[in-house]
Amino acid sequence: MRGYVLQRLALGVVQLALLAVLVFALTSLLPGDAAAVRYDGDATEEQVAALREQLQLDRPALERFAQWAGGVLTGDLGTSLVSGGPVAGVLAESAGATLVLAAVTIAVVVPLAMLLGIASGLHEGGRLDRAVTSVTLALNAIPDFVLALLLIAGLSLRLGWLPATWVGVGGGDLLGQPALLVLPVTVVAARMVCLLSRQIRAGMVTVLETGYVTQARRLGVPRRTVLLRHVLPNAAVPGIQELARVGDNLIGGVLIVEAVFAIPGVATALVRAVEARDVPTVQGLTLVLAVAALLFSLAADLVCHRLVPRTEALR
Amino acid sequence: MPNARSRREFIGLAGAAGAAGALVLTGCGGSGGGGADAKASPQRGGRFRAVFAGGGKAETIDPHAESLAIDMARTKAMFDRLVELGPDMAPVPRLARKWESNSEATVWRFTLRDALFHDGKKLSPEDVLFSLGRILDPKASNHFAQGLLSAIDLKNCRKTGKRTVEIALSEPSAEFPALLGTLGTAIVSSRYDDPAKPVGTGAFRLKSFAAGRSFVAERFDDHWDGGAYVDELRILPADTDARGNALRGGEAEFAYEMTPTFARSAEADQGVRILAAEGGAAHAIVMKCDQEPFDDPKVTLAFKLLADRRKLVDVVLAGRGAVGNDMFGKGYQYYPEDIPQRERDVDEARSLLRKAGALNKTLSFYTSDVAAGFVEAATLFAEQAADAGLRVKVTTGSAETYYADQLTKGVMGSHRSGAMTIPNYINDRLLSDSPFNASGWRRDDFDTTFAKAQSTTGKDERAKLYSGLQRTIHEEGGLLMWGHADWLNAASARVRGMKPAPPNTLGSARFDQVWLA
């Protein structure tokens, strides 16, 4: 177990290194650099050159990357080319809203998906199953931003039940105003619930048909015990693995709702950094997002192992 | 997010300023051009939330480093300028009660009004001199007005009395007061040293600021102009759609820079009023006069005759604007209204092109989606040019660096300019040594006439010179200025005391006069 974790972490470090190189290369491919973008059309060539020198953009890309990477190894995420302040500061400021959003989403998604998946799996082909299947399939087909706009138009602008954006908070406390979370969390959670509940349902159906469940039933083990001890843990595994996989849905969904609901989070900061060609900030933020995704996936695998130690989840 | 970038054409090097003469036109919807404002008397109190396109970490509250619209709104709340620009781009007094110059327009004397800073001290000539020194500080690379005010001869500026200050220039500038009404020119206290602790004379005093997140200010009761009505002002960042949603959802009272699409959908909404200012943005197609085939004025004229301006306005600006007449500054001071509107004439265009031997050539049009309508206008114009047998190939480039790339790519390009004075516009874009001379227009006689206008203190004579310059541009210049878009802002129906105003004018994003009904 410990060996597995170490192995996964080592692999993670390699993945992060590759990602860092890739992101750096891709941002370098974008037209213009931080100096050109900041002064676009506002300054003479000399001014742009001076800024480029000041930001050390005139130095070779490899050297800049090496310097940044060296900093990261010592825990320094680098300096923003826009604000001149540390990237860690950008992260600290923007992470709060994103974390709240992600955490609340997960807290909603997991129980809801379990409930729907189990219920429909137990009644395969029944009315409930068909209803859940149609709704989740339909919802899954709606892009996040369209869902967001529909919800805003209906629930906020027409009915006035919920706030349409986070603008009114003005940097205030978000958890203190749960109404603000309802729509953004609904949008991000919707697709995740669809994907997860369908996986859990499929797991339920498969497990219910396996020999050991039939055998347990035949032996007269109470239905309740069969479900809780044998069916659920096994059926949950694909669901939890799916949860790890839909981590990108979570990140993608958060990015979209941050823009639609004017939430000043990591995704918003990342988009601004890309626009400004603020390479160290882009690098730092993607690295942290990647670390989060890796840890999330590792945690999901460990939970699977805990539930069903003999499965091949940890291979 | 393209909104954050759209500042550039709205500012240019010279800052900007401006407004057409049509402030009253759209008026305060619902209340019939301010009728309700006039009837009810302003009330104090309440919280006013205004939403702008954000700039993330690039946002600032340093009034001399301001560059985004959201920066300018915050600065306007906390600071005042000596001079602001009125609806026709003519200077109007603010902290300077009046001004006069010597006959060469090289020394300007400003008389200051009684105003208090937020720390309770009186405005003095020393504060003005300190502010100019800070703006021009060679070590500050991001002080926007440096280029604009570079003619100021700091060593020879001086206090001439308790309320008077003399600003000396190294070269004549008959438009100098207007320059003081543009971007990055706020007067700060001589005790101001930390941008995080602003000391201004504005109607609001800072409570808190976090770049890219929020700005909160409270009313400053001792403001010289009577002060604000609302207790608290919040200026917040949000993208276009979120601004509209916040306004319609009751989470904001004012949204800056809205789209024609939003305006149309908001028409049915009783809770929202659109504030449309005419002449907020000039749209043009730039032809490079220093390159073939546009080095022949017959060709530029032919292209101007090819444009179906009404259709461009209807399609690209969704009808929210006026047709242009190939000159900047419709409705502004010094705009020659007597020059007839250019109409479409394909036959005449074709015959001019034939004479110039410019038919049957493929021309490259470089554009980008950096500003709303650029790509649409380019594509539509390419179709219109095809009516004369011309092939225009439209290329769409990177939004982030468009304005720099435009100088080197394509023989045609898209151009948009926000409101600024006509002299500023010419100075920025149409002189031989203008840094942003996108049309490659270089004429010695034009430069000479402009310099003459700059040193002419007689107002009528100066106006005649500018009028002549505009006429030359109209006939021979490389700007196919096809339309003037309305500048659209939106406010909650509860908001009173707010008039439509294009960016960079005194009335734009001005919150000391607003109150909530």
Q: Indicate yes or no: CB of B57 within 8 angstroms of CB of A260.
A: no
- Between CA B262 and CA B250 the distance in angstroms is 16
Q: Do A85 and B57 touch (CB under 8 A)?
A: yes
Neighboring chain B residues of A51 at a CB cutoff of 8 Å = 141
Using CA atoms, how far apart are residues B309 and A139, in angstroms rounded to an integer? 45
Q: How far apart are the first and last CA of chain B?
A: 33
* Residue that has been written with the tokens 């109190």 in this structure: B45
Q: Which ipTM was obtained for this model?
A: 0.77
- Candidates A28, A29, A30, A42, partner chain B, best to mutate (most B CBs within 10 A): A42
**B44, B515 in Cβ contact below 8 A?**
yes
Give the residue on A whose Cα is nearest the Cα of B272. Answer: A157
Cβ separation A83–B57 shorter than 8 A: yes
**A153: nearest CA in chain B?**
B245
Chain B CA closest to residue A263: B238
Is the model more confident about B119 or about A263? B119
pLDDT tens track for A84-113 = 888 888 888 888 888 888 889 989 988 898
Segment A188-243, tens digit of pLDDT: 998 888 888 888 888 888 888 777 877 887 887 787 777 777 777 777 777 777 77
pLDDT digits (tens, 9 = 90+) for A302-311: 877 777 766 5
Section A104-133 average pLDDT: 87
Q: Maximum distance among all alpha carbons in chain B?
A: 71
What's the confidence (pLDDT) of residue B23? 33
DSSP A9-57: HHHHHHHHHHHHHHHHHHHHHSSS-HHHHHHTTTS-HHHHHHHHHHTTT
Identity of the residue in B58, B213, B436 whose CB atom sits nearest the CB atom of A82: B58
Length of chain B: 517
How many angstroms separate the CA atoms of A52 and B425, rounded? 28
Provide the chain B residues 382-401 that lie in CB contact (below 8 A) with chain A. 397-398, 400-401
Q: Which of A37, A9, A99, A92 is nearest to A278 (CA)?
A: A37
Give A216 to chain B, closest Cα distance, Å.
56
Distance of alpha carbon B462 from alpha carbon B455, whole angstroms: 9
Residues of chain A in contact with residue B245, where contact means CB-CB under 8 angstroms, are 152, 156-157, 164-165
Q: Are strands B362-368 and B391-397 parallel, antiparallel or unpaired?
A: parallel
Supply the angle between the helices B459-476 and B297-306 in degrees, to the nearest 10: 80
> Within the 67-106 window of chain B, which residues sit less than 8 Å (CB to CB) from chain A?
67
DSSP A313: G
* pTM to 2 decimal places: 0.84
Higher pLDDT, B169 or A175: B169
Q: Looking at the partner chain, which of A40, A50, A167 has a beta carbon nearest the beta carbon of B400?
A: A40
Sign of the Cα torsion B1, B4, B8, B9 reads positive
Q: Do A42 and B9 touch (CB under 8 A)?
A: no
Nearest CA-CA partner of B130 in A163, B72, B121: B121
Instruction: Give me A91's structure tokens.
Output: 């992260």
Parallel/antiparallel/unpaired status of strands B272-287 and B412-418: antiparallel
- The first and second tokens of residue B352, run together, are 């001019």
Cβ within 8 Å of residue A161, ≥6 positions away: A155
What are the distances in angstroms from CA A141 to CA A106, A149, A170, B331?
21, 15, 34, 51
C-alpha–C-alpha distance, residues B130 and B391, integer Å: 56
CB contact under 8 A, A167 and B56: no
Would an 8 Å CB–CB cutoff place B505 in contact with chain A? Answer: no
Q: Are strands B164-168 and B107-112 parallel, antiparallel or unpaired?
A: antiparallel
Q: In whole angstroms, what is the distance from residue B244 CA to residue B51 CA?
A: 9
Gap between the terminal Cα atoms of chain A: 10
Percent of chain A with pLDDT over 90: 4
Whether B188 contacts B82, CB under 8 Å: no
Q: How far apart are CA B106 and CA B172, in angstroms?
A: 5
| Structure confidence by residue, pLDDT tens digits, A32-48 | 788 877 776 666 677 77
Q: Are B85 and B506 in contact (CB under 8 A)?
A: yes
B436:A41 CB<8 A: yes
Report which of B82, B148, B91 is spatially closest to residue B109, judged by C-alpha positions: B82
Closest CA to B183 of A42, A220, A157, A153: A42
| Residue in A32, A149, A168 nearest the CB of B398 | A32
Provide the 3-class DSSP secondary structure of residue B179. Answer: helix
CB contact under 8 A, A170 and B211: no
**Residues of A in Cβ contact (< 8 Å) with B12:** 41-42
| Min distance B389 CA to chain A CA atoms (Å) | 33
B248: part of which helix (H) or strand (E)? helix B240-248
Q: What mean pLDDT comes out for the span A274-283?
A: 87
Residues of B in contact with A82 (CB under 8 A): 56-58
Bridge partners (DSSP) listed for residue B492: B272
Record: contact A82-B56, CB cut-off 8 A: yes
The answer to whether residues B375 and B367 touch, using CB atoms and an 8 Å cutoff, is yes
The answer to whether B234 contacts chain A (CB < 8 Å) is yes
> Which tokens hold the place of B440?
């490659």
Chain B CB contacts of A37 below 8 Å: 400-401
Cβ–Cβ below 8 Å for B242 and A167: yes
Cis peptide before B293 (omega within 30 of 0): yes
What are the φ and ψ backbone dihedral angles of B493, each rounded to 5 degrees? -65, -15
DSSP-based three-state secondary structure for B107: strand
Tell me what pLDDT residue B118 has: 96
Is B457 an interface residue toward A (CB < 8 Å)? no
CA distances from B102 to A17, A43, B174 (A): 67, 32, 10
Residue at token pair 């609806």: B87
Q: Which residues neighbour B153 within 8 Å (Cβ) at sequence distance 6 or greater?
A: B168, B169, B170
DSSP code at position B506 = T
Q: What angle do CA A149, A151, A152 make, to 5 degrees?
A: 65
Buried b (16+ CB within 10 A) or exposed e, A129-168: beebbeebeeeeeeebeebbeebbeebbbeeeebbbbbbb
Probe site for chain A from B62, B395, B400 (most A CB atoms < 10 A)? B400
Rounded to 10°, the helix A232-245/A87-122 angle is: 140
For the record, the structure tokens of B325 come out as 């007449």
Residue A94: the pLDDT is 85
| Three-state DSSP state, B517 | coil
Whether residues A170 and B216 touch (CB distance < 8 A) is answered with yes
Which pLDDT value is given to residue A224?
79
CA A119 to chain centre: 26
- Residue A105 distance to chain B (closest CA, Å): 21
The answer to whether A163 contacts B238, with C-beta atoms less than 8 Å apart, is no
Report strand pairing: B321-323 vs B479-492: antiparallel
Q: Which residue of A has its CA nearest to B49?
A: A168
The two tokens of residue B381 are 């114009």
DSSP characters over B391-409: EEEEEEE-STTHHHHTTTS
Give the C-alpha distances (Å, rounded to integers) separating A243 from A198, A199, A293: 12, 9, 11
Strand (E) or helix (H) holding B267: none
Q: pLDDT digits over A47-67, tens only?
A: 778 888 888 888 888 888 888
DSSP 8-state code for residue B48: E
> CB–CB of B25/B278 below 8 Å?
yes
Q: Which of A33, A39, A40, A278 to mutate to test the interface with B (most CBs of B within 10 A)?
A: A40
d(CA A161, CA A14): 48
What is the rounded distance in angstroms from the CA atom of residue A129 to the CA atom of residue B481?
63
Report the residue of chain B nearest A36, measured CA to CA: B401
The tokens for A93 are: 């400021």
Per-residue pLDDT of chain B (517 residues; tens, 9 = 90+): 333 333 444 444 333 333 333 333 333 333 333 444 455 788 999 999 999 998 888 899 999 999 899 999 999 999 999 999 998 899 999 999 999 999 999 999 999 999 999 999 999 999 999 999 999 999 887 888 888 899 999 999 999 999 999 999 999 999 999 999 998 999 999 999 999 999 999 999 999 999 888 999 999 999 999 889 999 999 999 988 889 999 998 899 999 999 888 998 888 888 899 999 987 889 999 999 999 899 999 999 999 999 999 999 999 999 999 999 999 999 899 999 999 999 999 999 999 999 988 887 889 999 998 888 899 999 999 999 998 889 999 999 988 788 888 888 999 999 988 889 999 999 989 999 887 888 999 999 999 999 999 999 898 999 999 999 999 999 999 999 999 999 999 999 999 999 999 888 999 999 999 999 8
Among candidates A40, A171, A281 on the partner chain, residue whose Cβ is nearest the Cβ of B403: A40
Strand B96-101 versus strand B107-112 pairing type: antiparallel
Nearest to B251 among A82, A167, A269 (CB): A167
Per-residue tokens: A127: 């009315």
Question: How far is A305 from A303, CA to CA, in rounded Å?
Answer: 5
Residue to mutate among B239, B245, B270, B406, with most A CBs inside 10 A, is B245
Report CB contact under 8 Å: A272, B1.
yes
Chain B nearest CA to A260, separation (Å):
6
Q: Where are the beta strands (DSSP E) in B169-212?
A: 204-210
Contact B415/A at CB under 8 A:
no
Cβ-Cβ pairs closer than 8 A, A with B, add up to: 146
Q: pLDDT value at position A170?
A: 52
Residue from the list A51, A171, A272 with its beta carbon closest to the beta carbon of B210 = A171
Three-class DSSP labels, B457-516: CCHHHHHHHHHHHHHHHHHHCCEEEEEEEEEEEEEECCEECCCCCCCCCCCCCCCCCCEE
With an 8 Å Cβ cutoff, is B51 touching chain A? yes
CB contact under 8 A, B401 and A40: yes
Chain B positions touching A149 (Cβ under 8 A) are 241
- Higher pLDDT among residues B17 and A174, named by residue: A174
Assigned token pair, B205 = 């005093």
